[in-house]
Amino acid sequence: MKGTRRTVVIVAFLALVTVAAVPTVAVASVTDQVISRLNRQLLYLAVPIAVLVEAILAYTVWRFRDNDEPEPTKENRQLEITWTIATAIVLLFVGTASFYVLAQPTVSTVLDERNGDTGDVEPGGAPADAVEVHVNAEQWQFTFEYPDENVTTSNALVLPEDRTAYLYITSEDVIHSFHVPDLDWKQDAIPGQYNLLRTEPTEEGEYRLYCAELCGPGHPEMLSTVRVVDQEAYEAWLENPEAAPNETAGNETAGNESSPNASTIGSATGGEP
Ligand code: CUA
């Protein structure tokens, strides 16, 4: 039995070393921050449990390899109570930690307090110091409208670093999904309604924007770019939004000619498909 205990201690130590060695990735947005933290917490919990279970299994197989007359396990109430409580604690932790992240306004869409009972989200709710952008998805491109700045573009979603962004996401035709994996941003684009993604990019750079909902033959090419720049570069860009610093956005090829809504680009306020 002493040997077993020593094995458990060694395994637990190895598990901790493994977890400590997991590299911490740079955080690119406040949304990324809470999701990555949850991911790490669950990893800290899951890795030692997985290692412990596998170690007990391996030990048991080795220890009883020549046992020709195995005895059935006798009832052990204490053991049963222990593993029931331990499992309940683990599940409670996973549930609470996940729900806490899911309830964050930077992760889930926020109900609109201005619309009382229904809570329907409507554009125009961003505070004065935040950037408000209406993201319009249609077959098969994204269009970004900055109502306060009178700018509409399909080239890229340009956002200033370290400033809150209110992204009101909707669709002109079918259901699309606004997904930027490197920023941990994901929100459905649904015709006739707005979903709000309230977030803040914290790391300058270029991030690929994908449509993450199968929306027709042009779906694989429904890509765009999120460019996070400093405040100065953002203001310069607002002056001349079409002079994109890179030519690789690739949105021009995303089937504009065949789009029935090409003429309505920029009419973000309609909402009805
Ligand atoms: Cu839009 Cu897939």
Q: pLDDT tens across 33-78, in order?
A: 999 999 998 999 899 999 999 999 999 999 988 888 888 888 889 9
DSSP 8-class letter at 27: P
Distance CA 44, CA 40 (A): 6
Residue 183 near residue 226, CB atoms below 8 Å: yes
**Which residue shows structure tokens 């684009």?**
189
Model confidence over 85-106: pLDDT tens digits? 999 999 999 999 999 999 888 8
Which of 17-26, 74-83, 105-114 bottoms out in mean pLDDT, i.e. has the lowest? 17-26
- Long-range pairs for 252-258 at CB < 8 Å and ≥24 separation? 253/221, 254/140, 254/141, 254/218, 254/221, 254/222, 254/223, 255/139, 255/140, 255/141, 255/218, 255/221, 256/141, 258/218
Report, as an integer, the average pLDDT of 187-197.
Answer: 92
How far away, in angstroms, is 184 Cα from ligand 1 center? 18
**CB neighbourhood size of 182 (10 A):** 17
Q: Whose CA is nearest to atom 1 of ligand 1?
A: 176
Please give the C-alpha separations between residue 256 and each of 68, 108, 154, 260, in angstroms, as whole numbers: 73, 31, 11, 9
Query: What's the pTM value of the predicted model, to 2 decimals?
Result: 0.70
Contact 183, 32 (CB under 8 A): yes
Q: For residue 228, give the 3-state DSSP assignment.
A: strand
Calculate how far, in angstroms, residue 213's C-alpha sits from the geometric centre of ligand 1: 5
**From the CA of 269, how far away is ligand 1's center (Å)?**
21
The predicted pLDDT at position 68 comes to 84
* Residue 176 Cα: closest atom of ligand 1: 1
